[in-house]
Structure 1
């Protein structure tokens, strides 16, 4: 496995120390997305504020792969899209017939936005314009592909209607820039580095969704929510663009030590400024967002923290 350089020496946090030093693995995603820097920031928080613990952020294929890593015990924590976590926990969708019933949540940490990117002069201005084109739907085993497929199929478009390519974020940006594909999907916390870099070398367009398309997507996937990409998010993006968003969940196994789960949840919400300094997506890392958005039960250690701060936990979020 490859690891980003976010391991950090442990220092004291004003909570009970762990019984022995632990090396924790955080499954993230590719280097061109938000999971990578966010997971690295979380690794720093753990190393800096939880006595006896260190962490490293692991480069992976993102959401779907990450659920398997946690389920098998190959990773201790994982970032994944809420719909992927829900399907894994309940044995539905891509996890039909293989329920990963040990999946628990520490928190929902920020919303992803589905971002459909093309070159400004491509002629692609709507979802239906993707028909007959060559389109990246995200890396194999990624939440991006799950979201792309769900959005398209909810609006009557299948992979038979275009030439699908399964590329990661950086590969998608490079292929759009080089003219090898016509458009690509990202499901990631905005802004993301791969689109930012593309926008510095080519004039790009973000393809917006209609209210009807958003409504159909929400009907197909209840975890979807309307989300507006702000103007000036990327170079040359003069107007806001309507899209959909999906919460991201920090998931662990039910077998994680309760005290460790409590300490990680506590440091996540009480040292958030350190995460914001690494990536602006952490501005949405709040207790309120977490209890509003998490679709699966919380780990008992996380639940202890939410109850301690007086959060209103929903019935389905209790183990």
Structure 2
């Protein structure tokens, strides 16, 4: 995108253009409204699944009229399709996949009617190879076997774009293996693949465990971060894996991409506000198993790019800003 960035108030005003929501509610025991929402997360053991389970637990503890049922899925792309088809009310997705959906790009020609509640944290791209192997740069992967994420995941979208901007296509194409995180880690451990590409929080526990068993090299991606941003827009940014995680002795530059908490446009405004109250009241518990050291603040959360904020989210953030 070009032009001057919008102010926070401008973002909120623009979000009011979203469609009005319909009711998805029942009755609680005391006669009040009880919201029952299905949340599309990710594969068991992954960060989206952990976030979704934590959100359901915290909602049950602090918002008795809000009932959230986490659904195990293939993650971002799958979640966006579920939201569009109505089999989920809430969902998590990486920002690049969400932007594709609202713009009708790639596999989203039907443009699912999704809206954003918040940008909740940033994924860090991990390009991981055995430390003592022959691969020392992204371009060394030509012709090799690479775990690029599960089918239907946002990580697979990012991996595909990363390989394209690096020129790893045609005769130089890698052999992509569509593995989820657990399968990718085991494949790298056993030598079934030469590298894995994963986008997640820092540290990712499965990679921390692998690093204790197998010396790893995390390949730098600073140049590719700039190229992806120039090619696909500001959903991509340059971030740094800090020294100390995974046994790194110095920082490694890589690619950052946000994760959005999304909702169908038909979810009622009051339900969205109830969800966001739990998210902002209990963010420490929600992010504890997802990404270390992250902090969720409204100024960060409201930056959802071309994905419009749900009207209920607009109302919530206005109550925060005054």
* TM over 0.5, shorter chain: yes
Contact 2:189 / 2:214 at 8 angstroms: preserved in 1?
yes
Q: Deviations over 1:35-89 (max 9, x none)?
A: 1211111111221222322223222100000001111221121110011111111
Shift of the 243–175 alpha-carbon distance from structure 1 to 2, 3 Å rule, reads same
1:8 counterpart residue number: none
1:142 aligns with 2:153: yes
Q: Within 1, Cα distance between the matches of 2:298 and 2:31?
A: 24
| Equivalent residue number for residue 228 of structure 1 | 240
Q: Is the 8 A contact 1:27 1:79 kept in 2?
A: yes
Indicate the residue corresponding to 1:83 in structure 2.
Answer: 96
Which residue of structure 2 lines up, in the alignment, with residue 98 of structure 1?
110
Q: Quick one: which of 61, 69, 73 aligns to 1:60? A: 73
Matches of residues 124-135 of structure 1 in structure 2 within 5 Å? 124-135=135-146
Query: Are positions 1:288 and 2:299 aligned together?
Result: yes
Partner of 2:184: 172
- Give 3-state SS (helix, strand or coil) of 1:296's partner: coil
Task: Give 3-state SS (helix, strand or coil) of 1:248's partner.
Answer: strand
Does structure 2 retain, via aligned residues, the 8 Å contact 1:230–1:240? yes
Compared CA separation, residues 282 and 229, structure 1 to 2 (3 A):
closer
Q: Is the 8 A contact 1:89 1:103 kept in 2?
A: yes
Task: Report the Cα offset of residue 281 of structure 1.
Answer: 4.8
Alpha carbons of 1:279 and 1:114: their partners in 2 closer, same or farther (altered >3 Å)?
Answer: closer
Aligned counterpart for 1:46 among listed residues 52, 59, 62? 59
Q: CA shift at 1:278, angstroms?
A: 4.1
Normalization by structure 1: what TM-score? 0.86
1:18 to 1:85, Cα distance in 2 relative to 1, 3 A: farther
Separation in structure 2 between the aligned mates of residue 78 and residue 287 of structure 1, nearest angstrom: 19
1:158 to 169, 172, 184: 169
* Alpha-carbon distance between aligned partners in 2 of 1:18 and 1:130, rounded to the nearest angstrom: 61
Which stretch of the first structure deviates more once superposed, 58-67 or 158-167? 158-167
Q: Does 2:33 match 1:23?
A: no
> Equivalences for 1:190-205 in 2 at 5 Å?
190-205=202-217
Kindly state the Cα deviation for residue 280 of structure 1 after the two structures are TM-superposed. 3.7
- 2: CA distance between counterparts of 1:18 and 1:93? 45
- Distance in 2, matches of 1:230 and 1:159, equals 34
By how many angstroms is 1:203 displaced? 1.0
Q: Distance in 2 between matches of 1:270 and 1:159?
A: 49
State the Cα distance separating 1:294 from its structure 2 match: 4.1
**What is aligned with 1:123?**
134
Query: Who is 1:3 aligned against?
Result: none
Determine if contact 2:125/2:199 at 8 Å carries over to the other structure. Answer: yes
Q: Aligned in 2, Cα 1:140/1:159: closer, same or farther, shift over 3 Å?
A: farther
Give the CA deviation at 1:295. Answer: 3.2
CA RMSD of aligned residues (A): 2.0
From the superposition, tell whether residues 52 and 182 of structure 1 become closer, same or farther in structure 2 (CA, over 3 Å).
Answer: same
Q: Which has the higher contact order (CA 8 A, sep 6+)?
A: 2
CA–CA distance in structure 2, aligned partners of residues 131 and 19 of structure 1: 60
Contact preservation (8 Å) 1:107, 1:294? no
- Following the alignment from structure 2 to structure 1, what is the Cα–Cα distance between the partners of residues 31 and 250? 50
Over 3 Å counting, the alpha-carbon distance change for 1:159 and 1:37 in structure 2 is farther
Alignment of 1:202-221 (within 5 A): 202-209=214-221, 211-221=222-232
Contact 2:201–2:290 (CA under 8 A) maintained in structure 1: no
What displacement does 1:154 show? 1.8
Residues 238 and 33 of structure 1, relative CA distance in 2, 3 Å threshold: farther
CA distance in 1, matches of 2:218, 2:87: 37
